[in-house]
Amino acid sequence: MTESTIPTILDSIKEMCDWNRRPEDNLLHCSSDLLGSLRHAQLRMGRAPTREASLGSEFRLLSGSIWHEQVADKLLLQKILRVEEEDWVLNLEDVEVDLTEGLPEGWTGTADWLFWNGDFNAYVIGDLKTIKGEGMRYIYANGAKAEHMAQVSAYVHALASFPDVGSDQVMGKFLIVYLPISDAPDLDVHPTVEVCVSMDKDALWTMMENKWQATSDWKLEWFETGNVVNDRLAPPMERVQKAYWNTSRNVYELKLVPHWTTQFCLYDEPYCDCRDQGTTKIGEFDLDGAYTPRSGYEGIEAEVRVSDLELNKRRSAA
Ligand code: SF4
């Protein structure tokens, strides 16, 4: 081997990131596409060109994969574990369980862990989420995130539809373990086990079928016209409402801001422009929580509220 063909240490690490990226399978993924942007999934399938991902986000993904492997190895060694929250004793049956067969057409998904609960004679599905320490604030206050609940609920219903399993052998409750991978200021950061109840199957399946139908329609148009950006491409994600404390005016300003996932999106125009949507103030809450819309935005209803806890905190500091 000549000196010039010897890879550098950084080349080798970059190779690990490349290996960690899953190849495109032309399917919708329960882990990202259930409540995520359909446009994003379609652009991914259409192999629309992206900007290069930052090394930081590549490492974030890689560290998530490494944690999944490490925890799975540990569980495989121990085989039996206790879930204090429910007083369950679970036996580990398998890790990385492919549930695609039980999902609606066009969808794929893999559960991190499958346990057997001998007291109930039923399987329990578990999933691991690595998360920034700052993100744990939301989990401690609200429990599991909606997109994670939807993802693992789909796994529960998929497993229950396996011919050799049956719905009475799958528990409607499942586990999501949140593993923080950094600290956060003024927060006692620690992992949590969230025991969740699965969402209604009919509503979930209808949403998944609709998304796949929209994807199939878009694909047809793409194949016919050769254009990934065609009339059937889903619209960009709408902005979401968020309340921000304004220190100088002692009010919470309600704003429309781009969805949080857009900061990680690598598509530029003409594929998508939702990262550049900007922020618009649409109203404000006073310290009693009363809402006043901004002039010209009276037609938009406030969908978020400021909690009593937050208001009390601000009132006592004012
Ligand atoms: S910019 Fe937003 S809507 Fe557009 S593809 Fe990315 S995540 Fe989806």
pLDDT in tens, 225-245: 999 999 999 999 889 999 999
Query: Residue 255 corresponds to which tokens in the numbers above?
Result: 């704003």
- Specify the higher pLDDT residue, 186 or 34: 34
- Counting from 1 in the atom list of ligand 1, the atom nearest the Cα of 273 is 1
Residue 107: closest CA among 55, 60, 167, 38: 38
* Distance from residue 204's CA to the centre of ligand 1 (Å): 22
Closest CA to ligand 1's atom 5 = 40
Is residue 43 lining ligand 1, measured as CB closer than 6 Å? yes
pLDDT, the chain, mean: 93
pLDDT of residue 100: 98
* Distance from residue 259's CA to the centre of ligand 1 (Å): 9
Segment holding 65, helix H or strand E: helix 55-78
Q: Which letter, b or e, does each residue of 224-263 get, where b requires 16 or more Cβ atoms within 10 Å of its Cβ?
A: eeeebbbebbbebbebeeebeeeeeeebbbbbbebbebbe
Cα separation, 301 vs 143, in Å, equals 26
- Counting from 1 in the atom list of ligand 1, the atom nearest the Cα of 272 is 4
pLDDT in tens, 263-306: 888 899 999 988 778 899 999 999 999 999 999 999 999 999 88
Q: What region, left, alpha or beta, does residue 140 occupy, with left being phi > 0 and alpha being psi -120 to 50 degrees? A: alpha
pLDDT of residue 261: 83
Which amino acid belongs to residue 306?
Answer: V
Is residue 236 lining ligand 1, measured as CB closer than 6 Å? yes
pLDDT of residue 75: 95
* Distance from residue 228's CA to the centre of ligand 1 (Å): 14
Is residue 130 lining ligand 1, measured as CB closer than 6 Å? no
* Distance from residue 262's CA to the centre of ligand 1 (Å): 6
pLDDT band at 149, cuts 50/70/90?
A: very high
pLDDT of residue 59: 87
pLDDT of residue 12: 87
Half-sphere exposure of 130 (CA within 13 A, CB side): 15
Q: Which residues pair with 246 in a beta bridge?
A: 251
pLDDT band at 118, cuts 50/70/90?
A: very high
Is residue 262 lining ligand 1, measured as CB closer than 6 Å? yes
pLDDT band at 257, cuts 50/70/90?
A: very high
* Distance from residue 260's CA to the centre of ligand 1 (Å): 10
Closest CA to ligand 1's atom 6 = 265
Residue 277: closest CA among 304, 249, 240, 310: 240
Cα separation, 164 vs 119, in Å, equals 20
Boundaries of every domain in the chain: 55-203, 236-317
Cα separation, 250 vs 272, in Å, equals 36
pLDDT of residue 1: 65
Q: State CA 290 to chain mean position distance.
A: 32
* Distance from residue 257's CA to the centre of ligand 1 (Å): 13
Give me the torsion for CA of 311, 312, 315, 317, rounded to 10°.
-110
Is residue 275 lining ligand 1, measured as CB closer than 6 Å? yes
pTM of structure: 0.89
38, 274, 275, 276: residue to mutate for ligand 1 pocket, most atoms within 8 A of CB: 274
Cα separation, 214 vs 219, in Å, equals 9
pLDDT in tens, 78-105: 999 999 999 999 999 999 999 999 999 9
3-state secondary structure 254-317: EEEECCHHHHHCCCCCCCCCHHHCCCEEEEEECCCCCEEECCCCCCCCCCCCCCHHHHHHHHHH
